[in-house]
Amino acid sequence: MNHIIKQLSSRKSIRQFTGENVKSEDLELIIRTAQRCPTSINGQQISLVYTKDKATIKKIAELCGGQPQIATSDVFITIVVDFNRTAFAVEQAGETQLIEKSAEGVLVGAVDAGIMLNAIQVAAESLGYGTTAIGAIRSAPESMIKLLGLPPQTFPIVATTIGVPTKEALEAPLKPRVPINSFSFEDTYSDIKVKDGVIAYEKQMKQFREDHNMDYLQSYCEQTANYYKNIYSRKIAKNYKSQGFEFKD
């Protein structure tokens, strides 16, 4: 098992930080490294806005519903879908950009943001830092847009914390995943395997909770139901629209 497989295989979200700083040269290396990840058509429709300012990070934590894992992180990086950059490039070629007014544009931006997020996290973790992906910035897109000074044709879609993990956080057990045969299929998808996988995983997660005395942990079905029975981030479609995006065609 090589270093990379080893790191990815033992990856976990880190929500407890020591309060030590992410070194400036490490942060720069993380960002430079992540920028090498691919983007659709090499359009580079992603920008990053990071902050090390503790007051700003606390403000973002509040916008995200008061999450201590954000408030106590050392660096917060917002991944911004950036069709402002590409619109200018298209203009330079004498044309007018249309892509952001389509489902294709919205999806390209979101997929590329996910790629960038993972690249940032893998780079940060290789330097010994801990991270957690933060989707909750989508609970307050208007405030995030204002805070980060984002122009039209951009959207703050997802973010990550970075900090120095506590020993306890590093040593926490790895949460199981759904059975591999219900996650990955050769040639064709199997609905039965997916459903059997959910049932097996539910049992496994309840056992995991018991084995590790994690009473506070919801089971897979409980947690998924608690989030997904609702549309918990209302106004996103409206905010996308007011930033100049449309989900059509």
Site for a second copy in 144-163 (CB under 8 A): 148-151, 154, 157-158
Chain positions 176 to 215 lying near a second copy, rule: CB under 8 A, are 177-178, 180, 182-191, 194-195, 197-199, 202
Q: Is 9 an interacting residue with respect to a second copy (CB under 8 A)? A: yes
Q: Are 154 and 83 in contact (CB under 8 A)?
A: yes
Residue 104 or 142 having the CB closest to a second copy: 104
Contact characters 107-146, a second copy, x per CB under 8 A:
xx-xxxxxxxxxx-xxx--xx----xx-x--x--------
Residues 49-78, one symbol each (x = binds a second copy by CB under 8 A, - = not), give xxxxx--x----------------------
Tokens of 147: 């805070």
Q: Nearest approach, Cβ of 19 to a second copy (angstroms)? A: 20
* Residues in Cβ contact with 247 at an 8 Å cutoff, skipping those fewer than 6 apart: 102, 103, 106, 237, 240
CA-only gyration radius of the chain, Å: 20
Q: Identify the H or E element spanning 76.
A: strand 75-82
CB of 112 to a second copy, least distance (A): 6
Q: Which residues contact 223 (CB under 8 A, 6 or more apart)?
A: none
Candidates 30-38, 61-69, 165-173, 206-214; binding stretch for a second copy (CB under 8 A): 30-38
CA atoms of 131 and 20, how far apart (whole Å) = 14
* 19/107 with CB nearer a second copy: 107
Structure tokens at 175: 């949460």
